[in-house]
Structure 1
Amino acid sequence: MKTTYITLSLSAIFLLGLSSCKKGEAVTSKYESLQNADSAAVVVSDSVSSAATMAVKDKQFIKTAQVNMEVKDVYETTVSIEKSVQDLGGFVTHSNLQSNVVSENTYDTSNEEAMLVKKYQTENTMNVRVPTEKLGEFLTLINNKKLFLNSRTIDAEDVTAGIKYAELEGKRIKKTNENITQLKTSKDKVNMGNDNMQEENAQQLANMNVADNLKYSTIDIYIKEPKLRITEIAITNTTSIDNKYKFNFLYGAKTAFVEGSYLIQRIFVGLIVIWPILLILGVAVYFLRKRKAFKKPNQNISE
């Protein structure tokens, strides 16, 4: 009896130990799987923010992003981004590539030629939209183009409550329309129907915008080159051309002679215009001289 009791006790201890080992292996296995999942999550979070790929049950998010970075070549990066957007099923809504000139100087290299040297910096402001499920992939693609990332912002706006409220508003508008149809025809009924229809159209437009923003994420991208670029453009030496035709003596003398003859003609025409004044002055001078001549003999006689 005692031996049987000892045997049963040892069997129980053995079974408990075996069970503990199995539980330990299960816990260890579960921990390792979680650790592997965490490692995978770390890898993902290193390449793209979790906000870009976040998915929560019974939640809907409108996702947007803003990226500001420096790249080696703005034009090549722009072409690459546009191609990536197209490959992912998105589209570009705005792209403004421009070169800001910092300085511009002209250097004469010969009597006929010169060199225009420009220092400039190229930048581009883009607005693109990609399918929301491809947002993380797209951000990873453009991240590979950077030399230096100045900033990156990712927003995930929870619009679940707003969508639910829009559904309730749609039901309210429908109910209001049913109530209006039961009224007697009158001017007030027409006005109420128009107002309700206008509200329904506005609600449908809002619903379409929300649906579009849920389907496509909006990304604002600003890229620029970290250093100035220099371009050399061969042009004509305008200084030598200006000096060549700045003054011609023979032509200048001929022009001066012609202008002088025109001046004489103008003076002559001017004298003709004021001939009455000249006539009056001439008569006045004549009488003054005659009067002086008349006074002079009388003075001699008195002496």
Structure 2
Amino acid sequence: MRNLKIISLSLLFLFIHSCSEYSESGESMETAAEESKIPVSSTAATYQDEERQFVRTADVSMEVKNVYNSTMRIESKLAQIGGFVTNSQLESRILSKENFAVSQDSAMEVKKYRVSNQMSMRIPQKELGNFLNSLGEEIEFLHYRNITVDDVSLNFVLSELENNRLNSTHDKLENIQNKNGEIQDNQDVVNNMDRNKSEINQKKVATMKLKDEVAYSSLTLGISEKEKISETLIINPKTYEDKFRPSFWYRAGISVQDGFYFFQSILVAALYIWPLWLIGILFFFFLRTQIKKSV
């Protein structure tokens, strides 16, 4: 009776312990699932300052359930906020391919593949944070999210100062050119004005490019899905090869013919070195004559 009580208590303890482990395991799985859904946005993507200008770039890599469907939804959201795609490379990469015979005439082609898409896009800078957050609806697993913010406020100040300097130089060159006398025809002044005008144009384009980079943030987005398997019923390649395989007598005839051609090639090669044969024969007779004389 005492042994029975001990056994019962032991079983009860094991049951409680196993339930506790199962509960902890379930909690850890839920925690892991929550941790995998890392917030995609950041204050780096949303911070605004009227006195500063920022160039923002983001790089995101994530796993989704279906690459094609996610691509369509992402592009639709992007268009709604005034953004646009500059590059999109959607592809299915075959990891392995095997054929398994099902019958004499057919086989099953089994392909393991992974679909991915590498995208580049431009997003209005005030919408970057919201757009990154919207990507969370597609994420099955986040590989990484990198955001870079460059403060280019001083770049605009420098650009304005350079423009003023170049414009001042241009005005001075025009005044020199308009003076009467030989200087008006001086080729050096004309060349300097051309170079100065070219620098002004380049500086304008650089400023426009910088303003565009501030207004529209750049995002590089890589999305992929888990490996998938495709099964396709095809003609059995082995049967197809056997169907058009030449007969034995045909292959035997070809072998005899090829052997004859090979023998001809040997004879032609032997005739090609006929001077060596001639020298060898002459040396043989010379040696034979010398042996007879010595005897």
Q: Give me the TM-score of the superposition, normalised by structure 1.
A: 0.66
Q: Which residue of 2 aligns with 1:28?
A: none
User: Is 1:57 equivalent to 2:50 in the alignment?
Assistant: yes
Which stretches of structure 1, 4 residues or longer, exceed 6 Å deviation after superposition? 253-257
Deviation, 1:100, is 2.1
CA–CA separation in structure 2 for the residues paired with 1:146 and 1:248: 59
State the AA in 2 paired with 1:234. Answer: L
Residue 49 of structure 2 aligns to a residue whose secondary structure is coil
Deviation, 1:168, is 0.8
Deviation, 1:247, is 3.2
Residue 143 of structure 2 aligns to a residue whose secondary structure is strand
Measured at CA, do residues 250 and 194 of structure 1 come closer, stay the same or move farther in structure 2, by a change above 3 Å? same
Find the structure with the greater CA-based Rg.
Answer: 1
CA–CA separation in structure 2 for the residues paired with 1:47 and 1:98: 24
Measured at CA, do residues 255 and 132 of structure 1 come closer, stay the same or move farther in structure 2, by a change above 3 Å? closer
State the AA in 2 paired with 1:244. Answer: K
Which sections of structure 2, spanning at least 5 residues, go unmatched? Answer: 1-37, 177-182, 268-295
Q: Which residue of 2 aligns with 1:214?
A: 214
Measured at CA, do residues 256 and 128 of structure 1 come closer, stay the same or move farther in structure 2, by a change above 3 Å? closer
Q: Which residue of 2 aligns with 1:192?
A: 192
Q: Which residue of 1 aligns with 2:224?
A: 224
CA–CA separation in structure 2 for the residues paired with 1:250 and 1:46: 73
Deviation, 1:57, is 3.0
Q: Which residue of 1 aligns with 2:201?
A: 201
User: Is 1:236 equivalent to 2:235 in the alignment?
Assistant: yes
CA–CA separation in structure 1 for the residues paired with 2:135 and 2:196: 46
Deviation, 1:47, is 6.9
Q: Which residue of 1 aligns with 2:279?
A: none
Q: Which residue of 2 aligns with 1:245?
A: 244
Give the count of matched residue pairs.
220
Q: Which residue of 1 aligns with 2:16?
A: none
User: Is 1:106 equivalent to 2:96 in the alignment?
Assistant: no
CA–CA separation in structure 1 for the residues paired with 2:192 and 2:113: 61
Asked if structure 1 preserves the Cα contact closer than 8 Å seen for 2:67 and 2:116, the reply is yes
Moved more, 118-127 or 241-250: 241-250
Cα offsets for 1:114-135 (capped at 9, x unmatched): 1111111222111011111111
Deviation, 1:244, is 2.5
Deviation, 1:250, is 5.9
Show the 5 A alignment for 1:1-303: 48-183=41-176, 184-185=183-184, 186-225=186-225, 227-249=226-248, 251=250
State the AA in 2 paired with 1:129. Answer: R
CA–CA separation in structure 1 for the residues paired with 2:101 and 2:237: 9
State the AA in 1 paired with 2:159. Answer: A
Measured at CA, do residues 253 and 188 of structure 1 come closer, stay the same or move farther in structure 2, by a change above 3 Å? closer
Cα offsets for 1:6-31 (capped at 9, x unmatched): xxxxxxxxxxxxxxxxxxxxxxxxxx
Asked if structure 1 preserves the Cα contact closer than 8 Å seen for 2:74 and 2:135, the reply is yes
State the AA in 2 paired with 1:133. Answer: K
CA–CA separation in structure 2 for the residues paired with 1:46 and 1:222: 16
Measured at CA, do residues 252 and 219 of structure 1 come closer, stay the same or move farther in structure 2, by a change above 3 Å? closer
Q: Give me the TM-score of the superposition, normalised by structure 2.
A: 0.68
Cα offsets for 1:210-265 (capped at 9, x unmatched): 1111111111111112x3110112221121121233232565578789x69xx7xx
State the AA in 2 paired with 1:241. Answer: Y
CA–CA separation in structure 2 for the residues paired with 1:161 and 1:253: 85
Cα offsets for 1:191-216 (capped at 9, x unmatched): 10111011111101101101111111
Measured at CA, do residues 76 and 170 of structure 1 come closer, stay the same or move farther in structure 2, by a change above 3 Å? same
Asked if structure 1 preserves the Cα contact closer than 8 Å seen for 2:120 and 2:221, the reply is yes
State the AA in 2 paired with 1:124. Answer: N
Which sections of structure 1, spanning at least 5 residues, go unmatched? Answer: 1-44, 271-303
Deviation, 1:182, is 1.5
Deviation, 1:83, is 1.1
CA–CA separation in structure 1 for the residues paired with 2:108 and 2:252: 36
Alignment RMSD: 2.6
CA–CA separation in structure 2 for the residues paired with 1:255 and 1:166: 80
CA–CA separation in structure 1 for the residues paired with 2:174 and 2:61: 55
CA–CA separation in structure 1 for the residues paired with 2:137 and 2:163: 45
CA–CA separation in structure 2 for the residues paired with 1:104 and 1:72: 23
Measured at CA, do residues 256 and 123 of structure 1 come closer, stay the same or move farther in structure 2, by a change above 3 Å? closer
